[in-house]
Amino acid sequence: QSQNECQINRLNSIEPTSRIRSEAGTTEWWNPNSQQLSCAGVSVLRQNVEPNGLILPSFTNAPQLVYIVQGRGIQGTVIPGCAETFQESQQGQGQKSPRRLQDQHQKIRRFRRGDVIALPAGVVHWFYNDGNERLVTVNLLHTANSANQLDDNPRRFHLAGNPEEEQRRLRRFAQQKMQGSRSEREEMEEDEDEEQDNPSRSRRESPHSREQQSSSCNNLLCAFDSEFLAQAFNVDTSLIRRLQEVRGNKGSIIRVKDRLDVVSPPRMEEEEREERQEEERRRERQRGGRDN
Amino acid sequence: GLEETFCAMRMKENIADPERADIFNPQAGRISTLNGYNLPILQALGLSAERGVLYNRAGTVPQWCINAHKILYMLRGRARIQVVNQNGDTVFDDNVEQGQLLTVPQNFAFMKRAGSEGAEWVSFFTNSQATNTPMAGRVSAIRALPEEVVAASYQISKEDARKVKFNNQDTYFFTSSRSERRDEA
């Protein structure tokens, strides 16, 4: 943290500065370079997910707290080394019927309005809106947390999808920050002088590393060699190519064709009853509105 | 009391001994880890290490380290290493040869495959309990996701999602494919 980030003489309430549209929702980021957020060492975003929308699996470089402002759904967190404790039952499968591989995955959790969800840094998570209303979350990333050993720029690593626009915005924030800190540190011109004296220095450091290659693919799997991945997953290369294909510009929130049917325990009867009552009340209000 | 505790603290451990391996696959290789659990002084230092061996053309599955940077030094042989950043850009894709060093920043995904003569390396981590998340295999992130989430995320059938989740039963490693071995023969 630079020394000037907390020299605050005046505070203002701030709105998100960038809005990224995905197939089934939007992601809005507050500018992480704003003085008050920089001082606190945090980045904040708001996600708005349509019913049946899935926030694709991803992880961030900082721990997160997610507050559910509106809606409900299910959420999965992949904790490294933990067992897949949610398993499909094998009951009812006679020896005559063909043996189907049962699905199993790590614990998933239901969430609803008012919940706070804690997500450690580097841990994959996904969210699915299985309700009838929009899901709205506010996420706080503590980029200054000791768990983040990278710089203070927020980063989201996607396992799937094509979150090109979001990544472009985050890159722009990082560039703005770099330019800002550069102008503040003009006295550090000796670095540039040294570069002029020895222009090959940066190239000499890593003879094998290549310049960052920009690609049309924006998730982690796309960038790996397909032959390597085919061996790592023990599947055909054609299947890996299908995984790596980016179909359309759907962003990081996609619409699920049918409802997502994952292995999960039944919900509490009371919760379901409350929800049915709430739905009935909503319909009545709509009917009343029309009559008037 | 200091003499009995801090001053006498165990400060060394040999991780090259094959018998000491924590992860082992006779076809692929082995990994020995040294961290704050098996060498407590590393808790205070906030560092850990790993010694790895890959046999002929075997590889480690794609993975990322959730809480540390990784600095790899190639001891013997060579390996092709790919490193991917948060934008899905390949920031490194080349062979790392004996005597060379490569830094993999925290959360950047990487995978490596040994050349025909195998590869041996030592990696240092900037956390005493460095934790890797593999993307493929028996304890991987993909396997921990529900089949339907995998199918929806990659827009593939449930059957294909099942293959992606369950086809590699190994932990951490993969071996060269049969076709490649035939080509070499």
Dump pLDDT digits (tens) for A203-228: 333 333 333 444 466 889 998 999 99
Read off the pLDDT band of A143 (50, 70, 90).
very high
Answer whether A105 sits within 8 Å of B147, measured CB to CB: yes
Which residues contact residue A270 at a Cβ distance below 8 angstroms, ignoring those fewer than 6 apart?
none
pLDDT in the model for residue B169: 87
Q: How far apart are alpha carbons A201 and A194 in whole angstroms?
A: 9
| Spatial contact of B158 and A262, defined as CB atoms under 8 Å apart | no
Q: Judged by CB atoms within 8 Å, which residues 110-129 of B form the interface with A?
A: 111, 113, 126-127
What six digits make up the tokens of A171? 């890159």
Among the residue ranges A42-46, A175-179, B3-7, B87-91, the one predicted with the least confidence is B3-7
Least Cα separation, residue A289 to chain B (angstroms) = 38
Read off the pLDDT band of B121 (50, 70, 90).
very high
| CB < 8 Å to A122, chain B | 64-67, 106-107, 131, 133
| Spatial contact of B63 and B108, defined as CB atoms under 8 Å apart | no
Q: How far apart are alpha carbons B82 and A225 in whole angstroms?
A: 8
Nearest CA in chain B to A88: B146
pLDDT, tens only, B148-179: 999 999 999 999 999 999 999 888 899 876 44
pLDDT in the model for residue B48: 93
Nearest CA in chain B to A206: B102
Quickly list DSSP for B156-172: --HHHHHHHHHS--SSS
| Spatial contact of A79 and A123, defined as CB atoms under 8 Å apart | yes
Which residues contact residue A22 at a Cβ distance below 8 angstroms, ignoring those fewer than 6 apart?
A163, A250, A251, A252, A253, A254
pLDDT in the model for residue A98: 53
| DSSP class of B79 | E
What six digits make up the tokens of B50? 């790993």
Read off the pLDDT band of A199 (50, 70, 90).
very low
pLDDT in the model for residue A270: 72
pLDDT, tens only, A120-131: 999 999 999 999
Beta-carbon count within 10 A of A291 CB: 6
Q: How far apart are alpha carbons A153 and A182 in whole angstroms?
A: 15
Provide, rounded to the nearest whole percent, the portion of chain B with pLDDT above 70.
Answer: 95
Are β-strands B132-134 and B59-65 bridged in parallel, bridged antiparallel, or unpaired? antiparallel
Read off the pLDDT band of B61 (50, 70, 90).
very high
| CB < 8 Å to A63, chain B | none
Q: Across residues B127-154, what is the average pLDDT?
A: 94
pLDDT in the model for residue A218: 81
Residue B43 C-beta-side C-alpha neighbours within 13 Å: 9
Which residues contact residue B64 at a Cβ distance below 8 angstroms, ignoring those fewer than 6 apart?
A122, A157, A220, B107, B108, B109, B110, B132, B133, B135
Helix (H), strand (E) at residue A135: strand A135-141
Helix (H), strand (E) at residue A138: strand A135-141
Q: How far apart are alpha carbons A185 and A203 in whole angstroms?
A: 24
| CB < 8 Å to B90, chain A | 210, 213, 215, 223-224
Among the residue ranges A39-53, A113-127, A184-198, B2-16, the one predicted with the least confidence is A184-198
pLDDT beyond 80 at A185? no
| CB < 8 Å to B59, chain A | 228, 231-232
Helices (H), B48-157: 141-144, 147-154
Give the phi and the psi of residue A260 in degrees, each rounded to 5. -75, 120
| DSSP class of A219 | S
Q: How far apart are alpha carbons B49 and B16 in whole angstroms?
A: 11
pLDDT in the model for residue A21: 93
What six digits make up the tokens of B118? 């195998």
Beta strand residue intervals within chain B, DSSP E = 23-25, 29-34, 48-54, 59-65, 70-84, 90-97, 101-104, 109-125, 132-134, 173-174
Q: Across residues A52-57, what is the average pLDDT?
A: 96
pLDDT beyond 50 at A189? no
pLDDT, tens only, B97-117: 999 999 999 999 999 999 999
Nearest CA in chain B to A222: B88
Q: How far apart are alpha carbons A155 and A137 in whole angstroms?
A: 18
Read off the pLDDT band of A169 (50, 70, 90).
confident
Collapsing DSSP states into helix, strand and coil, what is residue A116? strand
Collapsing DSSP states into helix, strand and coil, what is residue B83? strand
